Amino acid sequence: MRTDLRRLFGARPGQVLVMGILNVTPDSFSDGGRFTNTANILAQADRLIEEGADLLDIGGESSRPGAQPVPLADEINRVVTAIRAIRQKHLTPISVDTTKAEVARLALDEGADLINDISGLRFDPELAPLLRDRQVPVVIMHMQGSPGNMQQNPTYLDVVGEITTFLAKRIAWAESQGIAREQIIVDPGLGFGKSVAHNLTILKHLDRFRELGCPVLIGHSRKAFIGKLLALEVGDRDQATAILSGLCAMNGAAIIRVHDVAATVQAVKLVDALRNAPDQ
């Protein structure tokens, strides 16, 4: 077994991990095109790790609203190049953000430790058997629609209830395929087929997702709903992201996925200090 969640989280109960985002794509909404050669990729990985990232999340295909699929060979080349460069220098756990079994297989061969699937194991039927055989953790995320159409008209009667039901069904399905429940992380999918109001409701009731019995990952970093609420451009959203990171850490998130690791590490440390402060 390469990695399991017990080793990832360590022995300290309630530990919140910070996942640093490393998009090796030309078109991601926040940092597209910045990390497309080996030198820049490694420099960014160095920076994220120095700032305190507990793990890195590498994405070779943009999932921004309106994004279209990229050729398999392109995604493989981007992801494998990044992992090889990082693994020559760092042992930090690496997550790969992909829906494709072939990308996941080659990434794991190169030293990746977990798979982050925005489709919730729905898009590629070969991915679940691979994860079962390799015994690595997987993030199962909720998304209404696909990246190409998810923000056209997201609609729910009960956003938290519907997402919780979806994730519970996907957990059960994953278990039926031989994936151990102890290896599953859930993500309610902020911004993936959600309006501003939907995202706020999810954040307000984040503790509800803990009832699923799996660690909860939250990815709010620099997202459009922050910009709409505060009239901020993408490059100006890190302070608001860090504030939300602290609230997420307080309300049940186990992994917080962000671009600006340093500020979120500070937020998580403050939350940890508050939790461990004496009552008198």
Active-site residue list: 223, 257
Neighbours of 129 (CB within 10 A): 13
Neighbours of 18 (CB within 10 A): 24
Sign of CA pseudo-dihedral 155, 146, 222, 53 = positive
| Distance of alpha carbon 110 from alpha carbon 113, whole angstroms | 9
Q: Provide the token pair at 266.
A: 């500070």
